[in-house]
Structure 1
Amino acid sequence: MHCRWLVVAWTLLSVGCAHSKRAPEAELPKYEHVFQKPLTEALAATRELLEARGYTFEDTEDPNQLVTTWSEPDRAGTLNTTYTRYLVTGIQVAPRQSVVRIFRMTQQTTGNDVEWRKLWWKVATERWEQTSNPFVKEVDLDQDDTMTKRLSMLRGAQHGARDLDLEQALTLRLESAPSVEVLAGNVAEEKRPDPVRAPEFYLERWKDEAVAAGPCTPPVRGLAELLHPGLTLLIGEQLGSNEVPDVVGHVVCQAARTGLAVVLGLSLPETEQARVDTYLSSPGAPADQDALLEGRFWTRAYQDGRSSRAVMDLIDRVRALRAAGLRVTVVAYDTDVLNGSERDAAQAQVWTKRRAAKPDEVQVVLAGNTHTQMKKGTQWDPSFTPMAHLMKDHRSLVVLEMSYAQGLRWGCDLDRDSKLACGIVGATPAPKVAALPGQSPHILLQPTSANESLQGLLYVGRLTASLPAILGPRVEPPKDPRQAPRPPGRDRPLPGIF
């Protein structure tokens, strides 16, 4: 093997042919993780992550590369010393899809006091090697190899390996944040899209209500032990998935079949309540579905996941349960004229007043997980007071956070220019809510003190994206490169470690 060939390998840049041991294959994921983000945004987030850990950056000719300066160990000179730096390479897969690889590069200097060179000469040479930046120089190792010219050879024998822990931290930074909820007044209104009304658009549960009113399958394990008159169940979600509305439908169905009166709270503005009530009392035919979706909430230019196809189907499922004689209804409890703590205070007031009027009703409230946290404050507003905190005195409050496996969802976020963008985004769970796919829905309560409300996790499975209802099923999300067999040019197998 020609030594210079290794320059194009992502995991090693070396003047010599030095090799490190190959890591066990079991420690490497099978596929690359493809971010549902433009490459510029993914690299900017990578820079912020490394800067937060104290690293500074060298200049590079390639805008798709980041290189940190060498670390300064406590002791250098003629002693055996290891220096480290990070090399980041980005690949744009599509306009809103990218891959980021982070390599931890190491270089060792070996001291030998019996060498004829004087100590000051060796120290000066080592310092020059550490402070010089070969990434902005072309080293003519191979006239025909443009990759060699772009990366250049680092001086001295160096070893590189994928830092999978750092890549996981980047994934959580990009994919575990709450989705932006778009309210009237916080974004400029644009031209509304024309509604799609192809025949395959319409839900068909109304054609066979007997099937729709059948058993609640699959049952949610752990729910039966919680059910009792007066229960308030707050469920925090990542917006825009198929799985959460589906599992919440199971919860509502299972609770209503015990004979309890159940109200489902959806984060729809209260201005949609009249349309929802009309639909719940209708046969659910295509004309009824059209009427439900006539409101501005469903036709906004920016759809944030609360108006998804899955939420529309959840409303239709409640309609079918009512047609079967169960005591269940839907309340649109949100507002689109308030923001921040005022908005959450208004949301909490809806449920406080309803509890006073209906003390035995079971409240199942679905909300973005920022609103269901029990403690005050967020990263963007330390004084923020969430809805759940204001409801903590409810006598039978249970707060469940969504537990899920990595997947995709529909959401909105601000790009690097603070412009709102909505679409398919990655969904990576934080460690405390992460779970393997393939399990049946279940509730797992967590230990709390005697004076605290019950809290726990609601497992929903691996997330898939639910598109806005108004677009209909003809617009399908892209295939998930992390699970499907590898198509050419989409997901890329990880290189080995040399």
Structure 2
Amino acid sequence: MVRWITGLLMALAGIGVVHAEQAVSQIRNHAAGHRLLVLGEQHGTHEIPAVVQALVASYVADGKPLHLALELPAPESAALADYLQSDGGPAEMAALRARPYWSANTRFHDGRRSEEMLELIDAMRKLHRQGKDIQVFGFDQAASRSPPRPGERDATMAAELRARYVVLPANGRMVVLTGNVHGMRRQPRYLAYPPMTMLLQDLDVYNVRIGAREGDVWGCRPGHGCGRIALAVYSGPSPVRDEADDRNYDLQLWLPRFTVARLLGEGETYP
């Protein structure tokens, strides 16, 4: 137990334990009893996986089931389940890293493959080994055709989450970590199709966008590749709750700072 607490504190060191505790408290207080919690993130940060780790640890301390859905390919779910059952030794982690998703050699890297995400998965394994009722699965879906139909990916991801949600234990909760566009409740003007979370609004969904007041993120731009991007400074209030019918998110909160994660193969970069 001491080793687990030490590991959690080390994961939170980049954002500060106090700030992580505040974020967890704000999310839990506002989400209240909602059983489907969607967290919209900027991929490829050091801080968000640590907040998710702290949030899940807080929820499972209540003694109720929790299913963590990650924006990873759905075919990785069996390997994730196997890893949760393992002792997490070097061989088991090496086998996970050797999976096609984690070992992909491509110029396109949107930030989802990182040491921080692997550490989050390992933290879930440790919770499982402590007897917590926790599952981890991927819900991203490959397109059925090339080029894909507009909105096909969001629709199939929503269908995967819906199928998982309907078999969730009655006292359980599902936490979904996804990109902040997939996490929107409504269709923005620049998108030609409804985002994933919009297709789940008939469920008991509460969505939260996690941003930062300053720092750097990893992002991809058409024609420019993927690389480090400086955030515009935000000095407004946090958190901000929204109850308007046309809201994108129920809650938005800003961490003090984002830093780029330790990516697994950074791919193409731009200035």
The two structures share one fold, judged by TM-score above 0.5: yes
Query: Which has the larger share of helix?
Result: 2
Q: Distance in 2 between matches of 1:210 and 1:463?
A: 23
Q: Distance in 1 between matches of 2:176 and 2:235?
A: 23
SS at match of 1:248: helix
| Aligned residue number for residue 243 of structure 2 | 447
The reply on whether 1:458 has 2:253 as its aligned counterpart is: yes
Q: Distance in 1 between matches of 2:265 and 2:97?
A: 7
Q: Which residue of 461, 467, 492 maps to 2:262?
A: 467
| Aligned residue number for residue 197 of structure 2 | 388
| Aligned residue number for residue 331 of structure 1 | 137
| Aligned residue number for residue 182 of structure 2 | 371
1:452 CA drift (Å): 8.2
**One-letter identity of the residue aligned with 2:179:** G
Q: How does 1:216-227 map to 2 (within 5 A)?
A: 218-219=20-21, 220-226=24-30
Q: Distance in 1 between matches of 2:125 and 2:75?
A: 19
Q: Distance in 2 between matches of 1:348 and 1:247?
A: 23
Distance 1:377 1:293, change over 3 A: same
SS at match of 1:241: coil
**One-letter identity of the residue aligned with 2:242:** Q
User: When the two structures are aligned, how many residues end up with a matched partner?
Assistant: 249
Give the greater-gyration-radius structure (CA). 1
- Given the two structures, how large is their TM-score scaled by the length of structure 2? 0.80
1:461 CA drift (Å): 2.5
Q: Which residue of 57, 70, 73 maps to 1:269?
A: 73
SS at match of 2:127: helix
SS at match of 1:221: helix
Contact 1:392 1:453 in 2 (8 A): no
Contact 1:229 1:361 in 2 (8 A): no
Q: Distance in 1 between matches of 2:132 and 2:235?
A: 33
Q: How does 1:270-419 map to 2 (within 5 A)?
A: 270-300=74-104, 301=106, 302-337=108-143, 339=148, 340-358=150-168, 359-379=170-190, 381=191, 383-394=192-203, 396-414=204-222, 418=223
SS at match of 1:393: coil
Q: Distance in 2 between matches of 1:428 and 1:263?
A: 33
SS at match of 1:234: strand
SS at match of 2:143: coil
Q: Distance in 1 between matches of 2:189 and 2:118?
A: 30
**One-letter identity of the residue aligned with 1:387:** M
Contact 2:216 2:229 in 1 (8 A): yes
1:427 CA drift (Å): 2.6
SS at match of 2:151: helix
| Deviation readout 1:319-370 (Å, 9 max, x if unpaired) | 1111122112211000133554111111111222222212432111111111
| Deviation readout 1:248-276 (Å, 9 max, x if unpaired) | 11111111111121111111001211221
| Aligned residue number for residue 422 of structure 1 | 226
Unaligned runs of 5+ in 2: 267-271
Contact 1:372 1:387 in 2 (8 A): yes
1:375 CA drift (Å): 1.6
- Given the two structures, how large is their TM-score scaled by the length of structure 1? 0.46
The reply on whether 1:249 has 2:67 as its aligned counterpart is: no
Distance 1:459 1:377, change over 3 A: closer
Contact 2:36 2:173 in 1 (8 A): yes
SS at match of 2:166: helix
Contact 2:185 2:247 in 1 (8 A): no
Q: Distance in 2 between matches of 1:246 and 1:467?
A: 13
Q: Distance in 2 between matches of 1:311 and 1:266?
A: 9
Contact 2:97 2:103 in 1 (8 A): yes
Q: Distance in 2 between matches of 1:299 and 1:403?
A: 28
Contact 1:312 1:469 in 2 (8 A): no
Q: How does 1:5-44 map to 2 (within 5 A)?
A: none
| Deviation readout 1:62-95 (Å, 9 max, x if unpaired) | xxxxxxxxxxxxxxxxxxxxxxxxxxxxxxxxxx
| Deviation readout 1:137-157 (Å, 9 max, x if unpaired) | xxxxxxxxxxxxxxxxxxxxx
Identity level (%):
26
Unaligned runs of 5+ in 1: 1-204, 472-498
